Amino acid sequence: MSSPSSLPVALAEHGCPSGGPPVQSAGPGCAPYRDYVGVDALQALQRPKTDHPAELLFLTITQVQELMLSFLVKEVWRARDHLFLGDVDGALWQLRRIVSAQQVLLSTWEPLNTMSAPEYLDFRDALGDASGFQSATFRLFEFSLGRKSPHLTEFYRDVPAVHQQLVDALADPSLYDAAIHLLRRRSLLTTASTDGHPLPEEVEQAWAAVYRNPDQDRSLFLLAESLSDVAAQFVRWRSEHVLIVERVLGARAGTAGTSGLDWLRRSADHRFFPELWAARSCL
């Protein structure tokens, strides 16, 4: 029997697969694909506030990004758990998928490149105080990788469930915490600061040791490269965001009173796993 995930898209157009029992549905044709994907629910979420076609594009891309970020958070947590269990191969498999999904996320900017500044300004006021800066999913993604900013959780106090989710993510170990834990298990880290965390300089030297002799512990070398891929993809996504904003918004303030372009540029300069990047200078 075919699983729901194996049902081809064509079923939505050509009815039930041969040999399969007919199903009752509100519309013509066969319903399993539509029900599994939640097509009706997805389409119901597309509620632009204006009739401008560029707003529908903007809304659709933003929703796709939210879905991809949510998927990435779950995959990062799976990779983290593999590392804590000492299953580096399992983590590498997850990281391979994460980088691939990040490439899809990066590609979502392309349709927005077709939107001109006048088109965006035609519906910008309809956004009101809404801003991508407010995305809790994006914050979870940052936290899951290891960039944790406790003060950012304060923006979500009016939504208790979301606020608690972010607070929990702050307390949970990140993907990078799991990688550092693995370095310690492999005897590449020995000392710790007064708060129990390894000194940044020691982490930097541990990664440098991995790179000086990549064949000595091949799994650690592959992990270092995979983490670098994840971090680099994030920078590409942020940098493309900067270009999009500069193209359609210029240097004016962002929605919800954000500083717009300046804030995005500073964010794009951030590097996840900083000691891993700094290790290159030690070689």
Residue-wise pLDDT for 39-64, tens only, equals 999 999 999 999 999 999 999 999 99
pLDDT, tens digit, 9 for 90 and up, residues 181-206: 999 999 999 866 555 678 899 999 99
Predicted local confidence at residue 193, as pLDDT = 55
Percent of the chain having pLDDT more than 70? 83
Residue 74 pLDDT more than 90? Answer: yes
The pair of three-digit structure tokens given for residue 123, joined into one six-digit string: 């519906």
Predicted local confidence at residue 179, as pLDDT = 97
The Cα–Cα gap between 14 and 118 comes to 41
Predicted local confidence at residue 13, as pLDDT = 38
pLDDT, tens digit, 9 for 90 and up, residues 271-280: 999 999 999 9
Residue 236 pLDDT more than 70? Answer: yes
Predicted local confidence at residue 51, as pLDDT = 93
Mean pLDDT value of segment 77-84: 98
Residue 116 pLDDT more than 90? Answer: yes
The Cα–Cα gap between 142 and 9 comes to 34
| Range in 10-14, 64-68, 104-108, 133-137 with the lowest mean pLDDT | 10-14
Predicted local confidence at residue 257, as pLDDT = 55
The Cα–Cα gap between 169 and 177 comes to 13
Structure-token match 């983290």, residue found: 80
Top pLDDT among 235 and 25 is at 235
**With contact defined as beta carbons under 8 Å apart, do 58 and 115 qualify?**
yes
Predicted local confidence at residue 4, as pLDDT = 37
pLDDT, tens digit, 9 for 90 and up, residues 205-221: 999 999 999 999 999 99
Mean pLDDT value of segment 110-135: 87
Q: CB-side exposure of 53: number of CA atoms within 13 Å?
A: 4
The Cα–Cα gap between 102 and 239 comes to 13
The pair of three-digit structure tokens given for residue 144, joined into one six-digit string: 């899951």
Predicted local confidence at residue 10, as pLDDT = 37
Predicted local confidence at residue 192, as pLDDT = 62
Considering only CA atoms, give the Rg of the chain.
Answer: 22
The Cα–Cα gap between 105 and 220 comes to 27
| Range in 18-22, 80-84, 142-146, 217-221 with the lowest mean pLDDT | 18-22
Alpha-carbon torsion 228, 230, 234, 237, what sign? positive
Mean pLDDT value of segment 101-114: 95
Around Cβ 283, how many Cβ atoms within 10 Å?
8
**Domain architecture of the chain: domains with CATH:** 4-42 (no CATH), 53-282 (1.20.58.480)
DSSP of 166-197, one letter per residue?
Answer: HHHHHHS--HHHHHHHHHHHTTS-----TTSS
Predicted local confidence at residue 27, as pLDDT = 53
Residue 90 pLDDT more than 60? Answer: yes
The Cα–Cα gap between 103 and 78 comes to 19
Predicted local confidence at residue 8, as pLDDT = 37
